Structure 1
Amino acid sequence: MRFLHTADWHLGRIFHGVQLVEDQAYVLQQFLQLVKEVKPDAILLAGDIYDRAVPPTEAVRLLDDTLAELLLGLKIPVIMIAGNHDSPERLGFGNRLLAQQGLHVVGSLPENLSPVILADEHGPVYIAPLPYAEPAMVRSVWQGDAVSHEAALQTMISHVLATVPAGARKVAVAHAFVAGGLESESERPLSVGGSGAVSAALFDAFHYTALGHLHNSQPAGGDRVLYSGSLLKYSFGEASQQKGINLVELDAAGAVKVERLSLRPRRDVRCLQGTFAQLLAAAPDSAEREDYLMVTLTDGQPVLDARSRLNAVYPNLLDFDYSRLNRSGELKGPAADHRRLNEGDLFAAFFEQMTGEGLAAEQEHSFRTVLDELYRELREVKS
């Protein structure tokens, strides 16, 4: 059996103020073209279909168009689960009716959680849909005592495997943070005040596990437990990642072979660094000048109106910074209580925190001259 594993579409995502629906529609057209070429037996969509619980209408329309082409046009079944960004109830609406058309959606956690059964020339394959569910939800459905994400997922797996014959080929579709995975800054944590991580060993019973949640394509405890990664780059921290989908072949004995298929975005996400003059000079010759950019200037001194001048040649410049500025938030300079420091020492500490350099004697003199002048004016006003 051959299937495509994808996840984390985040339809309706806004990236630094830019609505990405057109970019998502562009890459989903490539996805549909790949489906036509590969002709898989099924598509596994492992959660975070939408970027938020109440998605914009454009995102809903895009998903509807994509699923209609997959199911009605190409006649390929889709197994889709809810992720932590999705509203389980909204995503799973009408799932019993849709299943008759080949769209198997598990949003809210059902008490009778059971696998989707597909078949090839070698017999049935049991696909276990494991949507994202808080431990409290798992406890309420099965009256258990799961208090962690690990225990909750173990409970879900146990229930779904109870209906699977011994020795059968089994595939899991899950939305979870497997311990050891490489995170990206665009992912929402699964747990607040505790660990949302689960062990890869939970999936040992499956011949392949199609994971969603982490946006970087990567293995999670072996070559049978994999993240496909997100549809697009959703943060500048993902600039070096290659986005795509997994083509998985499952043979008669349950052995898997995975091939990575790349997707080309409408606009890439890139980080540029250099002096203002260098970046300005490079723009006319750059075929990628309309990509989504984060620019870091290496100039030692501020450049007048630098961002708007760069924006004129890089129309999708979304983030801007100077490398000399310190964003760590770690206070440098005098270690004493700031309430006991005078204005000069406070300014010196602030200057060092922001620039990474100490205040030069000439700069300190200029500051104290300005400060003295300010105090003189205040005294004159009071008198």
Structure 2
Amino acid sequence: MRFIHTADWHLGRIFHGVHLTDDQAYILEQFIKLVEDVKPDAVLIAGDIYDRSVPPHEAVQLLDEVLYRIIMDCRVPVLIIAGNHDSSQRLGFGHRLLARQGLYITGQPDTAFAPVIIEDAHGPVYFCPVPYADPPVVRELLGLQDVQEHDRAMAALIGRWTSRVPPGARKVALAHAFVAGGEGSESERPLSIGGTDKVSAAHFQNFNYAALGHLHKSQSAGGEHIRYAGSLMKYSFSEAAHKKSVTLVEMDAAGDIRWEPFPLCPRRDVRCWDGYLSDLLAGPPDGAGKEDYIMVTLRDSGAILDVIGKLREVYPHVLHIERPYLTSGGDLRGPGGDHRRLSEMDLFSSFFRQVAGEELSPEQQKALAETVEHIYRQDGPVDQVAEAFRRDKGVRL
């Protein structure tokens, strides 16, 4: 038995204002080519097919095209479960009709708990699809009042599905969950607010393989046979160092598995660059990465006019800029006195100390004093402006 494990496509994703549908179509073309070359017995997609419960029509069209080519052209069945980003009811529409064509969608658990059975040369393999479901949904479905957290809900669901599998049979779990010990990233939406959203890896130990979704980094969780394939693409700058791939799994007659990652090459990578503006504008030494999605950490300390405009002349897809120098002061603090009785120099010195984490140098103090005086001289005689400012604001100059 050979199958491809993938997850977290997030079709319709918007990344820092950029619609990624074209990028997703580009990488899914490679995925279809891999299916054509490998000719697996099945494709497993472990949840978060869409990025939101009501996806844009471009995302729906893209999924329709990809599934048609895999199922009808490649003649490979596809198993899909809903993730926490998906609408289980919308995703599961028509699932009984679609199953006749080889598309097995489990949007939400039901009382049937019927595994999907796929045969190979050694007999049947039982696939147990466990879509994402909040504990109250599981509690109502199973009538178990002690199901209050995700771990207990997962235990109850796994128990019902495995009870439908003959003893000793080869079985594969397909689940969307946060398994304890897994490493998350910034782009994953929490499964629970105010409670624990993690489940134990022990629930999946008796499966020959557990195809997991939710965490965006490709990794094992509690055992080499319990794996996250990772997301289709990098969906946050915290994932810049990730190696995105899909996982090809081979299972022998005894149920022993071995897996191999197949990397996917995006149209534009996600990169984090750090440095001074002049160095960054000179471009990377090898010229690579200019067209990628980029976050810049800028080390310059002075004011720079239109930073993003300057950077986009060289890197057209700069999406985010951070300036640690301007935010190094820690927690917000007041000016250290009644602001109405502080001079412009005192007020600006307090502001500079807060955002820069250091005092104005003598040269900076002199430049500030000259600038303030120049502004006043443009508006009128200094003494008249100062007196008006003192009367209106109560500020001592």
Q: Aligned residue for 1:24? A: 24
Q: Aligned residue for 1:45? A: 45
How many angstroms apart in 2 are the aligned matches of 1:293 and 1:358?
Answer: 32
How many angstroms apart in 1 are the aligned matches of 2:201 and 2:365?
Answer: 57
Shift in Å, 1:209: 0.3
Matches within 5 A, 1:156-175: 156-175=157-176
Q: Helix, strand or coil: the match of 2:97?
A: helix
Residues 175, 213 of structure 1: 8 Å contact kept: yes
Matches within 5 A, 1:243-254: 243-254=244-255
- 1:377 equivalent to 2:388? Answer yes
CA 1:236–1:382 in 2, change beyond 3 Å: closer, same or farther? closer
Residues 178, 215 of structure 2: 8 Å contact kept: yes
| Segment drifting more, 31-40 vs 19-28 | 31-40
How many angstroms apart in 2 are the aligned matches of 1:291 and 1:262?
Answer: 18
Residues 276, 303 of structure 1: 8 Å contact kept: no
Residues 301, 326 of structure 2: 8 Å contact kept: no
Find the partner of 1:341 among 327, 337, 342.
337
Shift in Å, 1:161: 0.8
How many angstroms apart in 2 are the aligned matches of 1:98 and 1:11?
Answer: 20
Matches within 5 A, 1:118-137: 118-137=118-137
How many angstroms apart in 1 are the aligned matches of 2:387 and 2:33?
Answer: 73
CA 1:293–1:144 in 2, change beyond 3 Å: closer, same or farther? same
- 1:107 equivalent to 2:103? Answer no
CA 1:277–1:365 in 2, change beyond 3 Å: closer, same or farther? closer
In structure 1, list runs of 5 or more residues that go unmatched. none
- Provide Cα deviations, 1:127-155, integer angstroms capped at 9, x if missing partner: 00000000000011111121000000111
CA 1:120–1:355 in 2, change beyond 3 Å: closer, same or farther? same
Shift in Å, 1:276: 1.1
Q: Which has the larger radius of gyration?
A: 2
How many angstroms apart in 2 are the aligned matches of 1:303 and 1:294?
Answer: 17
Shift in Å, 1:366: 6.8
Q: Helix, strand or coil: the match of 1:129?
A: strand
How many angstroms apart in 1 are the aligned matches of 2:122 and 2:350?
Answer: 71
Shift in Å, 1:382: 8.1
How many angstroms apart in 2 are the aligned matches of 1:100 and 1:56?
Answer: 27
Residues 335, 347 of structure 2: 8 Å contact kept: no
- 1:83 equivalent to 2:83? Answer yes
How many angstroms apart in 1 are the aligned matches of 2:272 and 2:136?
Answer: 41
Residue identity matched to 1:358: E
Shift in Å, 1:267: 0.4
- Provide Cα deviations, 1:339-375, integer angstroms capped at 9, x if missing partner: 9734367755543442233344555677689599886
Shift in Å, 1:225: 0.4
How many angstroms apart in 2 are the aligned matches of 1:324 and 1:287?
Answer: 27
Residues 2, 248 of structure 1: 8 Å contact kept: yes
CA 1:358–1:340 in 2, change beyond 3 Å: closer, same or farther? closer
Residues 284, 313 of structure 1: 8 Å contact kept: no
How many angstroms apart in 1 are the aligned matches of 2:336 and 2:130?
Answer: 57
Shift in Å, 1:295: 1.1
RMSD of aligned C-alpha atoms? 2.4
Residues 283, 314 of structure 1: 8 Å contact kept: no
Q: Aligned residue for 1:282? A: 283
Q: Aligned residue for 1:222? A: 223
CA 1:300–1:57 in 2, change beyond 3 Å: closer, same or farther? same
Shift in Å, 1:302: 2.5
Aligned length in residues: 378
Q: Helix, strand or coil: the match of 2:110?
A: coil
Residue identity matched to 1:66: V
Residues 135, 152 of structure 1: 8 Å contact kept: yes
Q: Aligned residue for 1:68? A: 68
TM-score normalised by length of structure 2 = 0.89
How many angstroms apart in 1 are the aligned matches of 2:386 and 2:211?
Answer: 67
| Segment drifting more, 80-89 vs 287-296 | 287-296
Q: Helix, strand or coil: the match of 2:3?
A: strand
| Segment drifting more, 271-280 vs 372-381 | 372-381
How many angstroms apart in 2 are the aligned matches of 1:118 and 1:260?
Answer: 23
TM-score normalised by length of structure 1 = 0.92
Q: Aligned residue for 1:270? A: 271
Q: Helix, strand or coil: the match of 1:64?
A: helix
Residues 331, 349 of structure 1: 8 Å contact kept: no
Instruction: Report runs of 4+ in structure 1 exceeding 6 Å deviation.
Output: 365-369, 371-375
Q: Helix, strand or coil: the match of 2:297?
A: strand
Residue identity matched to 1:210: A
Percent identity of the aligned residues? 53
- 1:6 equivalent to 2:2? Answer no
CA 1:376–1:87 in 2, change beyond 3 Å: closer, same or farther? farther
